[in-house]
Amino acid sequence: MRVLLTGADGYIGVRMGHYLLARNHEVVGLDSGFHRSGWLYNSDDRRPAMITKDTRQVTEEDLAGFDAVVHLAEVSNDPVGEVDPGVTYKINHQGTVYLANQAKRAGVRRFVHMSSCSVYGASSDRASKEGDATAPLTSYAKCKLLVEQDVGALASDDFSPTFLRNATAYGASPRQRFDLVVNDLAASAYIFREIRMTSDGKPWRPFVHILDISHAVACVLEAPQDAIHGEIFNVGSEEQNYQVRQIAEILSELVPGCSLVFGDSADARNYRVDFSKIHERLPGFRCAWNVARGAREMLDMFARVGFAEDLYRWSGHTRLKQIRYLLDSGQIDENFFWCW
């Protein structure tokens, strides 16, 4: 399948590009390149050819000839989403609806959107299913729901949108992020031999490895149309609903001499997610990773690259720091368009 992968220069996108190419899809990447300065290691995995462009400026002509758009290119976490919620809506909601409309006009038949389990917000003790009530707490999560609704309404015989509500991602990527719980705790354990949490670590959260997200995307692209047409899937696995303190315990056990301290503040984001639908409807899908394996992968990578505090603190590896830096230095304008 000929696939346009937006956000291909991001944390998940780099490894998803490798993964889809290895499954013999023809992949072209598109990305504005906000986070290109954060590159932690190289490999000899094949990478897609890249187009540098903002998704809000993509035209029907850019999309002609593709069978599918896999859309990752959005403001990618809650804190960046709150820098200017108006811009978040312009990119993550209006920008995505615009891109989907252009894709449909260009004859692209599948549109796979990276939604998020954060749409469930602070939900009840029961694990949330796709049809359950949602309670998004932030602009970021609200935009994910608006896209599901508005791009979902574009579904037709020749246009099949699919929405993947991913759990919180973890794992090694050349374009590493350290503003994600597992990655941050792994870095802290490795560098400081200490995990010091301000929270009590009690909230439940679902986690998933970036290659399992990539596998879910491949399964959607390769599934019969009726299995994925207009569907929403939670992406993750039942056993990867963890209390955050369990993640800290796993890491402190993997790093010899690592101490572990919990605080007493509570986190409003507390939810567990039910992943039965994706396993039933996409029989080829299963998670090959868990947090312990993903943590070992990162710790091995840290040792290979001589990972140290300066790399951990570098703005290229933390989305909020990098966007603030690009704004403050006048490299992007107030709508996150490049000024040069």
Ligand X SMILES: NC(=O)c1ccc[n+]([C@@H]2O[C@H](COP(=O)([O-])OP(=O)(O)OC[C@H]3O[C@@H](n4cnc5c(N)ncnc54)[C@H](O)[C@@H]3O)[C@@H](O)[C@H]2O)c1
**193-197 contacts at long range (C-beta below 8 A, 24 or more positions apart):** 193/255, 193/257, 193/258, 193/259, 194/258, 194/259, 194/260, 194/261, 195/248, 195/251, 195/252, 195/258, 195/259, 195/260, 195/261, 196/261, 196/263, 197/244, 197/245, 197/248, 197/261, 197/262, 197/263
Binding segment (CB under 6 A) for ligand X, from list 50-58, 120-128, 291-299, 326-334: 50-58
Binding segment (CB under 6 A) for ligand X, from list 5-13, 281-289, 291-299, 310-318: 5-13
Binding segment (CB under 6 A) for ligand X, from list 61-69, 73-81, 216-224, 301-309: 73-81
Q: Name the H helices within 58-134.
A: 60-63, 78-81, 85-88, 96-105
Binding segment (CB under 6 A) for ligand X, from list 6-14, 264-272, 273-281, 298-306: 6-14
Our finding on whether 116 is near ligand X (CB under 6 A) is yes
Find the binder of ligand X among 3, 20, 28, 74 (CB under 6 A). 74
Q: Minimal distance in Å, beta carbon 122 to ligand X?
A: 17
Q: What residues numbered 17-36 form the site for ligand X, per CB under 6 A? A: 31-35
Interface with ligand X: number of residues (CB under 6 A): 28
* Contact in structure between 147 and 116 (CB atoms under 8 Å): no
Find the binder of ligand X among 139, 168, 241, 318 (CB under 6 A). 168
Q: Minimal distance in Å, beta carbon 194 to ligand X?
A: 24
Q: What residues numbered 265-324 form the site for ligand X, per CB under 6 A? A: 319
Handedness of CA 275, 278, 280, 285 (dihedral sign): negative
* Contact in structure between 270 and 128 (CB atoms under 8 Å): no
Name the helix (H) or strand (E) containing 244. helix 244-254
* Contact in structure between 188 and 139 (CB atoms under 8 Å): no
Give the residue closest to ligand X by C-beta. 10
Q: Minimal distance in Å, beta carbon 134 to ligand X?
A: 14
List of residues contacting ligand X (CB under 6 A): 7, 9-13, 31-35, 54-56, 72-74, 76, 91, 95, 114, 116, 166, 168-169, 177, 180, 319
